[in-house]
Amino acid sequence: MLIKTVNGKTPSFGRDCFIAENATIVGDVDMGDACSVWFNAVIRGDVHFIKMGNRVNVQDGAVIHCTYQRFPTHIGNNVSIGHNAIVHGCTLHDNVLVGMGAIVMDGCVVESNSIVAAGAVVTQHTRIESGSIYAGVPARKIKDISAELQAGEINRIAENYVKYAGWFKEEK
């Protein structure tokens, strides 16, 4: 893993986090407890800060970044950022799933209990209302999330990634 100080800012990690050997985390990054950062993921807090809550998983190849002096990145608790997704200068509240290959751009707010579908592009300054699914390019609301979908996808994926991280920690 590459963990690097940039402009005097060093990443900080909560308890019980898993960082893959080839993940990159640099600069002003503050990570909560039970987070996981997977293979080839990049979290770059060089131009602004990145604040992550507890139980956040950043899956393989995902990128989290910000915009210089304009848009930091805030990520709540129980958030899954799918393979090859890009989360840039935005806010993700609690219990959010960003699907594989999705892009969430500067100034966006994804409210709690929401899903950004795989491959979606959430354009600048979009606000995704709580309990909804957004899909497409550009992303638009396609439906509300049922309680079953919230438990079956958002919570299941977040819980699974805490479990998966445990497997890798055991192998050391």
Q: What is the mean pLDDT of residues 15-35?
A: 97
| Res 169: pLDDT | 77
Q: Does domain 2-170 sit in CATH 3.30.360.10?
A: no
Predicted confidence band of residue 171 (pLDDT cuts 50, 70, 90) = low
Statement: residue 66 has pLDDT above 90: yes
Q: What is the mean pLDDT of the chain?
A: 95
Q: Give the DSSP H/E element, type plus range, for residue 167.
A: helix 156-170
Cα separations (Å) of 76 from 8, 35, 48, 128?
25, 11, 17, 15
- Residue 3 structure tokens: 């963990």
DSSP class of residue 148?
H
pLDDT digits (tens, 9 = 90+) for 97-143: 999 999 999 999 999 999 999 999 999 999 999 999 999 999 999 99
pLDDT digits (tens, 9 = 90+) for 41-63: 999 999 999 999 999 999 999 99
> CA triplet 130, 118, 43: central angle to 5 degrees?
85
Cβ neighbours of 117 (radius 10 Å): 19
All residues at 6 or more sequence positions from 126 whose CB lies less than 8 Å from its CB, including other chains: 105, 108, 109, 134, 138, 139
| Res 111: pLDDT | 98
| Res 1: pLDDT | 86
- Residue extents of the structural domains in the chain: 2-170
